[in-house]
Amino acid sequence: MKIVEIKVLKGPNYWSVRRTKLIQMKLDLEEKEQMPTNAIIGFRERLEALLPSLIEHRCSVGERGGFFLRVDEGTWMGHVIEHIALEIQTLAGMDTGFGRTRGTGKDGEYYVCFSYMEEDAGVYAAHAAVRIAHALIFEEPYSMEEDIQRLREIREETRLGPSTGCIVDEAAKRGIPYIRLNKHSLVQLGYGVNQKRIRATIASTTGNIAVDIACDKEETKNLLQAAEIPVPRGTVIRTVEGLREAVDKFGFPLVIKPIDGNHGKGNTTNITTWEQSLTAFEAAKQYGRSVIVEKFITGFDFRILVINYKFICAALRTPASVIGDGKQTIQQLIDETNLDPRRGYGHEKVLTQITIDQFTQKMLDEKGYSLETVPLKDELVLLKPTANLSTGGTSNDVTDEVHPANIFMCERIAKIIGLDICGIDIMASDLRTPVSENGGAILEVNAAPGFRMHIEPSIGLPRNVAEPVVDMLFPKGSAGRIPIIAVTGTNGKTTTTRLTAHIAKSAGKKVGYTTSDGVYIQNQMMMKGDCTGPISSQFVLKDPTVDFAVLECARGGILKSGLAFQNCEVAIVTNVAADHIGLGGINNIEQMAKVKAVVPETVFPHGYAVLNADDDLVYAMRNNLKCNVALFSMDEHNERIKEHCAGGGLAAVFENGFISILKGTWKIRVINVKDVPLTYEGKAVHNIANCLPAVMASYLYRDITIEDIRSALMSFIPSSTQTPGRLNFFHFRNFSFLADFAHNPHGLKLLCDFVSKLDYPKKIGVISGTGDRRDEDIRELGEISAQYFDEIIIRCDKNLRGRTAEEIIGLLKEGIESVNPSLPTMTIANENQALEYIYANHQPGTLYTIMCDVVAGALDKIRELKEREDAEG
């Protein structure tokens, strides 16, 4: 067995629109193709012995143990690997269960697809599952624990922490989209101008000054003290002499901590001797030059959470500890505590397992204990200096016990510091009485407070503390979205995208859009090249200046990574034709239609899919949609249009020379096509077809008027800058170039239909074939060209994509000769040489129509020739 490739799908995709996070592994079974599971002696028994929990997999049988029934009946190894990959992730604390295994069209080769929670863990699971299956087949010993532990480690290394994660989950529940901006905890909630950001529990609304103050413990203490908030007496020191003065002034017990530390790093509490204070001083200096010495306040450690300056909840925190029984050693007590099923690795469970580290050893040393010491019965042995849950501490929710005076005090503290998400540490005997009366004190005010102790307390009621954060960031039910129009299809996508974006811009929108030639933010190109995949879409959605997105979504990006968005308001499907067949596991036009259908399937229920009623495959997509449907057609008498509109539906049609909108039985004439420059006075029929979905999609937005649409259609001038590679004319003194990106039979036929209506005495085609297309597709390009052009120049693409130049030229010639064996045809090595040849040997009055390989390169070369002609006079 051999893994051919692994793709990580991160959005709606070919396999599932709902389950967007999938690993797609192309697996070659090689000789194992001839070895179904029931033909491998003992395979079922070994599989069940290694992974008994697979009994819960229902598989297509639909009942517990269903997968093992399939194994008994005989199934292929790709299917087994799918289930192993899912199960080992679940055993590592990532419960996930969607999978599909399908043939690629090549014997013995399969797409094994399964869901994941963390990308790196999913990739690891793919490799591990193949190793496990191999070991089971050949009866080799295999240690599952190594894989499970590594998966746990990857999960903890890569996933969002519990605080950030719960905010993201709360936002997602409300339909607020999110984008993870780095591998840590920086996350964008919402899109474009409506986005907010969080990093852990600091929000984009949180002030820098407030965070600076909270990080400076002495500054915080001074502000609170000036506001009559009870704080411990203390001072800031830098030297041993300063330490001696502080000890003499405040006396023991003391607390020593770095002035700008966090998460308890460098903190030492309950210091009772000069030797302990020296050790604590050196520990604190590891995190900064200045050190705080404070009077140690006895009592319990409480954390109060204030969000948007309102009290939310409170927790009693206890450091990791064990209680002696007079019989077991400290190590034995720790091991017994870690058997608690609520304790797990990292953040996988409510509690974290207690580990032995330098802080534990230090605390035991100070008591004269070791891990082999047997504590007295009921003796509390603290193992960590701070009460962090991540180091094994526990929390007890005490929200309902907090005295109103303490609530008022904490809300006031948040205001004094200026923190909209604020964690306040209080040491006191309890919170039932005012801290100002029970001898308690405020120890710290924290920016980015941890939420885990509140959402998963060891004891007490869990609190949804993410809810008030999201309420603060997105008030009044805002989802933080911007309008998204997604455009897909085989031909016409880029022109439709550009025109739709132009209409929105004309209506006053700040538009970001992606095309096959680049990414544009408010008409400024930000990225150059084919930008029709999810990275480019995400670029637009991340831009804080954009309030309207038009995204071209091509086949390649959908198959490689899925879409960049979960939902859109409007989706356009222009058509589905035979292009890219045989690539990426798509072997026929029906499968290609399924790829394109991913886009309209993401439309919100209240949104619209704008579908081509003249295309059978596109029209059929409406059957699987859960949104509204609007249609477009070049024929207002199309029976599908008539039926749709009779039921009150919306459609855009070409009728009597007009682009019109049908609204039920009403007709709204938008504009005569002769007044639309893009249609070249109606000669470019395919551009009339491109206008229809752009008009229909724009009309669906109430704040885009018919006048906006009409004005935009009249001002959208086709040119090498406005529509690069789409019907770009360059007029020289004695001849003309027409450059177009037509790269498949369907597109070339539309281009040639347009050329046939132009008044030139002679028309010469400059054609090429794309190496990764089928033989019949390349031949058809030759056939179409022979039907329309008086002469043909064959040139080769810059990238031959797996074929030789001779192969491509031969197939094109076969197509040409099948139509007109005597048609004058010549071959020139590449595009630039062909253009140079035409410039030097042009025939007066001739139109040279060139199928561009690299649009930008071809246009630059033609401009260079034009400048040369102008310079030559």
User: In the predicted model, is pLDDT for residue 198 greater than 80?
Assistant: yes
pLDDT band at 873 (very low <50, low <70, confident <90, very high): confident
pLDDT tier for residue 658 given thresholds of 50, 70 and 90: very high
**Rounded Cα distance, 218 and 238, in Å:** 13
The CA distance from 99 to 108, in Å, is 19
Single pTM value for the model: 0.86
Q: Provide mean pLDDT across the span 649-663.
A: 97
Query: What are 288-324's pLDDT values in tens digits?
Result: 888 999 888 888 999 999 999 999 999 999 989 999 9
- For 346, the token pair is 């990292």
Give which of 633, 684, 641 is closest to 659, Cα–Cα: 633
Q: Which residues, other chains included, contact 312 with Cβ-Cβ below 8 Å and sequence gap of 6+?
A: 305, 306, 399, 454, 463, 465, 468
Question: Omega of the bond prior to 253 within 30 degrees of 0, cis?
Answer: yes
What is the distance between the alpha carbons of residues 59 and 36, in angstroms, rounded to a whole number?
A: 17
Per-residue model confidence (pLDDT) at position 776: 92
Proportion of the chain above pLDDT 90, given as a percent: 82
Q: What is the pLDDT of residues 716-774, one digit of tens each?
A: 999 888 888 889 999 999 999 999 988 889 889 999 999 999 999 999 999 998 888 88
Question: What is the C-alpha to C-alpha distance for residues 191 and 195, in angstroms, rounded to an integer?
Answer: 5
Query: Using one digit for the tens of pLDDT, what is the confidence trace for 86-132?
Result: 999 999 999 999 999 999 989 999 999 999 999 999 999 999 999 99
Over 80: is that where the pLDDT of 347 sits? Answer: no
More confident residue, 496 or 579: 496
pLDDT of 350 strictly over 80: no
Q: List pLDDT tens digits, range 612-645.
A: 999 999 999 999 999 999 999 999 999 999 999 9
Q: Percentage of residues in the chain with pLDDT exceeding 70?
A: 99
Instruction: Name the β-bridge partners of 628.
Output: 608
| Average confidence (pLDDT) over 790-809 | 87
pLDDT tier at 486 (50, 70, 90 boundaries)?
very high
Which helix (H) or strand (E) segment is 197 a member of?
strand 196-199
Strand-pair partners of 520: 513, 525
> What is residue 459's DSSP assignment?
B
Task: Classify residue 479 as exposed, middle or buried by CB count within 10 Å of its CB (0-12, 13-18, 19+).
Answer: middle
- pLDDT mean over 64-75: 95
Task: Name the nearest CA neighbour of 344 among 288, 287, 280, 390.
Answer: 390
Question: Is the predicted pLDDT of residue 159 greater than 70, yes or no?
Answer: yes
Residue 263: its pLDDT value, please? Answer: 63
Report pLDDT for 262.
67
- pLDDT above 90 for 857: no
What pLDDT does residue 764 have? 97
pLDDT at 140 over 90: yes
Sheet with strand 2-9: strands edge to edge? 2-9, 22-28, 109-115, 99-103
Q: CA angle at residue 693 from 11 to 756, to 5 degrees? A: 120
Concatenate the DSSP letters of all residues of 567-585 into one string: -EEEEEE----S-STTBTT
Give yes or no for residue 211 having a pLDDT over 70: yes
pLDDT confidence of residue 260: 77
DSSP reduced 3-state for 317? strand
Rg (CA), the chain: 34
Dihedral of alpha carbons 444, 450, 454, 457, sign: negative
The set of long-range contacts for 811-814, using a CB threshold of 8 Å and a minimum separation of 24, is 811/769, 811/775, 811/778, 811/779, 811/782, 812/767, 812/768, 812/769, 812/778, 812/779, 812/781, 812/782, 812/785, 813/782, 814/779, 814/782
Q: Which residue has the tokens 């399969």?
A: 110
- What the block records as the tokens of 103 is 């043939």
